[in-house]
Amino acid sequence: GARKCDKCDGAHATHDCPHYPKERDRHPDALVRKPTGMGGEVSDGSVVLLTGARVRGQPGDGNCLFHSLAHGLSGVSSAHALRREVATFIECNGEMEIAGTPLHQWVRWDSGTTVGAYARRMASSGCWGGGIELAAVSKLKAVNVSVFEPAAGRAAGT
């Protein structure tokens, strides 16, 4: 069967991931436990079947997460403006808890840097965003952010 990276979902072996070369750190979220929501509440873990949705292509400029989020948020002028806003929010809220853990610890586990260094890097166009940025947008904009993946055996958009 086709290989699928556990870190980025790419078509390569996880240990060969060009985007996330480091091993995952051990942290509370990586431990075996029930799924939790952003505030730490227990999720029911159910599968959602999304119908009537459309896949919207985004520019391949390294800012796809922010393009996608800006598209879904009203009142956001651009992906670049949202990126800067999120980076500033992260830098100013290192003690904010996400799923029961301070943001600065998530940053350290993910990047091995301080919140300030991480935020300065994340403010740069082309720097890939991920779970930290999704959580930050959720808190900053007071919205729920959902990530949908195609069902097994189905291509995106079908």
How confident is the model at residue 40, as a pLDDT? 41
104 SS3 class: helix
Q: Which domains, ranges and CATH numbers included, belong to the chain? A: 58-141 (3.90.70.80)
- Check if the beta carbon of residue 94 is closer than 8 Å to that of residue 62: no
pLDDT at 135: 96
How many angstroms separate the Cα of 126 from the Cα of each of 62, 63, 77, 121? 4, 5, 18, 10
Residue range 21-63, pLDDT digits in tens: 777 656 555 544 444 454 444 456 666 777 777 888 888 888 9
For residues 90-103, give the mean pLDDT. Answer: 96
The C-alpha angle with vertex 89 and arms to 87 and 129, in degrees rounded to 5, equals: 40
The residue written with tokens 């959720």 in the block is: 138
Instruction: Decide which of 5 and 142 is more confident.
Output: 142
From the list 31, 10, 6, the residue with the least C-alpha distance to 109 is 31
Q: What is the pLDDT of residue 32?
A: 43
CA distances in angstroms from 108 to 76, 87, 135, 156, listed in the order given: 29, 15, 15, 33
Residue with tokens 């919140």: 115
pLDDT score, position 34: 43
